[in-house]
A and B are shown apart, each in its own frame.
Chain A
């Protein structure tokens, strides 16, 4: 029994339940949200430390031996993802204190946030394919409710598309799990990997792998399955947008990494080539979509899509260096993207709009805020010495070493276009004069209420510090990514750890 393996799931689940019990007292729910996410972060760091020290951590539910029970497994990649979940959870919990409208708080915003974090943590830790489906649904149901909280027209329209496509993806996932169970007769991922490798009917396995690719591709918002994302992510209140932007699509990317390094490696030539082209087109369409947008959060939403392409590119090249790059990219991206959404929320608080044409003049009145935008924005575009530079550098170097020149060229071009989008936001929101028609509404000159301002700024400053830390102190992070990639490229280690060598 490894306590540290259970805590990242138990903490949000229990605090979610307690939050529901404290339904009438929003004040205690707020305190609990911050305390619980801080505990989650502490537990996740503990998990990462023990995973680095001891290698794989495995917990068998009900003490049944491995292939028969549901297992929870932590390797370095899962532990990293859990730490990122902790960081984002804490940042969002603090930010929500100021930004969440009180109507949302009264209708269960905090319990849903805890439930979402529990679903995300569960997805990262489970070692059972059907259990993964269950955690996905936990996460989805919480996200559905968060997305529609408030009930405005745009939210309803966005939610219908979001709900439909995610349920469709779940149905494909479930069918694929059924077909896989029919083929190999087990649900434990390590056991599946072992049995798939010795299976003669390779065609069936490839069919199932494509179903998984489509299903996780929808969740990860990969080309051509991403349309639900820009239609819905800009509609809820900003803390929810930021939480989704940081974590949800990355769960899909994590699932792709898990199954396409552990289970479906029998026909890399075929599956990973499809992933490679999907990655290239994801990058391109995402960034071109962003170039056509003139709304702060819509631009950022399209950039999520384009960045997902880089992560899938790391997986698709399928060399050790590429996987390192992909893992590094995920770490960098989650922090940076959440931070950008949080900044957009502050400018909304100041100027009352997300439309670029209504915004302006922020640099003149709030130069520090402009700096706080510039750090994640330039990091997203990949300017040294920020975190994005190293992430892109590793992925592109891996592309060159694998002699995939066209894809690498696309990745470089997309970096340039990302910079264009960020400069567009910079010029419109920060440099331009405040337009006349928004001046009357503007809070730029006045003080934000003191009690609120810290809750807006602490998470943004903290995440910007993380970006700077990854950028200026890349070596330990790179080593961590290297260890994660080493485990991913040697799936027999994972199988050995879960099944304990007894199953032969």
Chain B
């Protein structure tokens, strides 16, 4: 399972970078979305996958009885998803504004500020 997920993470990163290298700003933002998902999935995979063992203590016990899932990576991913959501919402508004102001979605036409 873990090696399969590792391939999925790799494919997601590759797809994200491919999309970011396209000229259209819409594809750029789609690339950013995939990229943040790839990073989240990476955290999930490297911190060890456990099936069906929630980190809950039975009543009266001080320590879990068997192997349980590590709750921390899930908390990290949840935080990262919320942040990525906020940032991507901004990015979508930005490309819309940029399209209105510049009149094109082609990154090659947006070189005025480059040097």
Chain A residues with CB under 8 Å of chain B are 130, 133-134, 137, 140-141, 144-145, 148, 151-154, 156-161, 163-164, 167-168, 170-171, 174-175, 177-179, 181-183, 187, 230-232, 234-235, 289, 292-293, 298
With A153-B102, A174-B43 as contacts: A231 and B94 at CB distance below 8 Å: no
A164 contact set on B, CB distance < 8 A: 20, 28, 32
Q: Assess the B80–A174 pair: CB atoms within 8 A.
A: yes
**Chain B residue at minimum C-beta to C-beta distance from A159:** B94
Q: Assess the B39–A175 pair: CB atoms within 8 A.
A: yes
Q: Assess the A178–B46 pair: CB atoms within 8 A.
A: yes
Give A160 to B113 CA distance when docked, in angstroms.
Answer: 11
With A157-B102, A160-B107, A231-B113 as contacts: A181 and B43 at CB distance below 8 Å: yes
Give A270 to B105 CA distance when docked, in angstroms.
Answer: 42
Give A168 to B21 CA distance when docked, in angstroms.
Answer: 12
Give A152 to B98 CA distance when docked, in angstroms.
Answer: 9
Q: Mark B50-76, 1 if CB is under 8 A from A, else 0.
A: 000000000000000000000011001
Q: Assess the A130–B76 pair: CB atoms within 8 A.
A: yes
Give A170 to B80 CA distance when docked, in angstroms.
Answer: 10
Q: Assess the B76–A181 pair: CB atoms within 8 A.
A: yes
With A141-B87, A175-B42 as contacts: A151 and B35 at CB distance below 8 Å: no
B98 contact set on A, CB distance < 8 A: 156-157, 159-160
Q: Within the complex, which residue of A130, A160, A182, A230 is in contact with B115, where a contact is CB–CB below 8 Å?
A: A230
Secondary structure call for the A interface: helix
Chain B residues with CB under 8 Å of chain A are 20, 25, 28, 32, 35-36, 38-40, 42-43, 46-48, 72-73, 76, 79-80, 83, 86-87, 90-91, 94-95, 97-98, 101-102, 107, 110-115
**Chain B residue at minimum C-beta to C-beta distance from A179:** B46
**Chain B residue at minimum C-beta to C-beta distance from A154:** B113
Total A-B residue pairs with C-beta atoms closer than 8 Å?
Answer: 112
Q: Within the complex, which residue of B42, B72, B94 is in contact with A160, where a contact is CB–CB below 8 Å?
A: B94
Give A148 to B39 CA distance when docked, in angstroms.
Answer: 27
Secondary structure call for the B interface: helix
Q: Within the complex, which residue of B35, B48, B113 is in contact with A168, where a contact is CB–CB below 8 Å?
A: B35
With A153-B112, A160-B98, A182-B47 as contacts: A171 and B39 at CB distance below 8 Å: yes
Can you pick out 30 interface pairs between chain A and chain B where the beta carbons lie within 8 Å of each other? Answer: A133-B80, A141-B87, A151-B97, A151-B101, A152-B101, A153-B101, A156-B102, A157-B110, A158-B113, A160-B94, A160-B98, A167-B35, A168-B35, A171-B35, A171-B36, A171-B38, A174-B80, A175-B38, A175-B42, A175-B43, A177-B76, A178-B46, A181-B47, A181-B72, A181-B73, A183-B46, A187-B72, A231-B113, A293-B115, A298-B115
A152 contact set on B, CB distance < 8 A: 101
B25 contact set on A, CB distance < 8 A: 160
**Chain A residue at minimum C-beta to C-beta distance from B17:** A168
B46 contact set on A, CB distance < 8 A: 178-179, 181-183
Q: Assess the A134–B83 pair: CB atoms within 8 A.
A: yes
Report B55 CB to chain A, min CB distance, Å.
14
B47 contact set on A, CB distance < 8 A: 178, 181-182
B115 contact set on A, CB distance < 8 A: 230-231, 289, 292-293, 298
